[in-house]
Amino acid sequence: MAHQISCEDAGMDCAFVVQSESDDELVEMALLHGENQHNVEMSEADVRELIKPAG
């Protein structure tokens, strides 16, 4: 089952959404996006809390 993370769910005014079958991949991609696009560093645990079912 695919899951997703969105910047909007993290309180950002950003349309970034990433979907994957792998939660580890979601976390990695969201952390990289946050650092590169928003200059924000989040903990892996905080990012994992943003994971929702895709759809």
Sketch the domain layout of the chain as residue ranges.
3-53
Interval 8-45: pLDDT, tens: 999 999 999 999 999 999 999 999 999 999 999 999 99
Residue 4 reports pLDDT greater than 90 = yes
pLDDT at 55: 79
The model's pTM is 0.89
pLDDT at 21: 97
- For the beta sheet containing 3-6, the strands, ordered from the edge strand earlier in sequence to the opposite edge, are 17-20, 3-6, 52-53
Tokens of 49: 């809390």
Helix or strand holding residue 29 (H, E)? helix 23-38
Q: Are 16 and 6 in contact (CB under 8 A)?
A: yes
